[in-house]
Structure 1
Amino acid sequence: MNKLDNALLNLLLKDGRMSYADMARELDISRAHARDRVQQLVESGVIEQFTAVVNPSKLGKVISTFVDLKVAPHAIEGMAAELAECHEVINLYIMSDLRSLHMHTLTDSQEIFDRFAREHILGRPEVISVNCTTLLSRVKHGRGGAKI
C-alpha cells in the first residue's frame, strides 16, 4: 500500500461507481494505471467487494437497535452462526473476550424487534446477559468503512 492506493481507496469509499477516468483525472495519473491499481487492490483482498449503501428508512426499516450479548463461551460460535442467518441482523461481531456478541439489527417496528428478540435471544440458557439500545439519531456514518 502506498499513497496512491490510499487515495484510490478514499475515492472509492466516497463513490464506489467512480470511473477509472474520473479517478485518473482526480489523481493526475493515467486511466490504465488507475484501473491496474484498483485491480491489484481487489486481487490482494484489500477491496473485498463493491456494494451499494442503502438508506434503511426508505425501505421501512426504522428501528435500528444495537444488542450486546454475553454468551456462555462454549456456545458463542453456534449462537453467532444462528444469528447471522437472521434477516434482522445486519452486522454481527464476536468480541475479544470470546463471550460477547455485538450486533446491529434493523426492523420495521418495535414489535418486530421484540418478536426477533423473543425467538432468538430471550430465555436461552446460553445467554448470560442482554443489553439493547435503540438508535435515536445518526451523528456520523462511516459509509464504506474506515477512511484510509
Structure 2
Amino acid sequence: MNELDAALLSLLIKDSRLSFADIARQLGCSRAHARARVQALLEEGTVEQFTAVVNPEKLGKVTSTFVDLKVKSHVIEAVATELAAQPEVASLYIMSDLQSLHIHTLTDTQESFLAFAQKYLFGQPDIISVECKNLLKRVKHRRGGARL
C-alpha cells in the first residue's frame, strides 16, 4: 500500500460519502485517479463496503453487554452462526483458542438481554461457560478502520 492509498483510506474512514472531487482535492490528484484508486481498493477487497455508523442509543439500545463464551470446539462454527443471526448480536468473534466466542450485544433493557441469554446461552449443551460484562462508559471506540 502506498502513501496515497493510505491517505485515501483515512479520508474514507472519516467520511465514506466524500465525492471523488473532494477526495482528489484533498489528496492533490485528479478526480479520475481518485475514482480509479477507490475502485481498485474495492476490487482487491481492501475496502469491503461503505456503511453508516449508527448510534445505538438513538435506537433505544442502551444496554451494551460483552459476552465471553466457552464452547465445545467441534461445534464452534455452528454456535457462532446461530448467535450471529440474532438481532441482539452487534459483533461476534471466534478467538484463537478455537473454543471461545467474544460477543457484543446491544439491547434496550437488562431484561431484554436476560431474555436473549435465557433463550440462546443458558442451558445450551454445547456452551461450557458464560461470562458477561455490561459497558459502563465508552472512552474510545473505532469508527471505521481496519476490521481485524
Q: Which bracket does the TM-score occupy, shorter chain normalised?
A: over 0.9
Taking the aligned partners of 1:19 and 1:137, their CA distance within structure 2 comes to: 35
The residue number in structure 2 matching 1:89 is 89
Alignment size in residue pairs: 147
Identical residues among aligned pairs (%): 66
Aligned residue type for 1:113: F
Task: Deviation per CA, 1:71-126: give whole Å up to 9, x if none.
Answer: 01112111101101100001011111000000100001000000000000011121
Q: What is the 5 A alignment of 1:58-73?
A: 58-73=58-73
Following TM superposition, where does structure 1 have runs of at least 4 consecutive aligned residues deviating by more than 4 angstroms? none
- By how many angstroms is 1:145 displaced? 2.7
Unaligned segments of structure 1, at least 5 residues: none
The residue number in structure 1 matching 2:134 is 134
Taking the aligned partners of 1:145 and 1:11, their CA distance within structure 2 comes to: 10
- Cα RMSD of the aligned pairs, angstroms, is 1.1
The residue number in structure 1 matching 2:9 is 9
> Matched residue of 2:83: which SS?
helix
Aligned residue type for 1:16: S
TM-score scaled to structure 1, two decimals?
A: 0.96
Taking the aligned partners of 2:135 and 2:42, their CA distance within structure 1 comes to: 34
Taking the aligned partners of 2:20 and 2:133, their CA distance within structure 1 comes to: 42
Unaligned segments of structure 2, at least 5 residues: none
> Matched residue of 2:142: which SS?
coil
Taking the aligned partners of 1:25 and 1:78, their CA distance within structure 2 comes to: 47
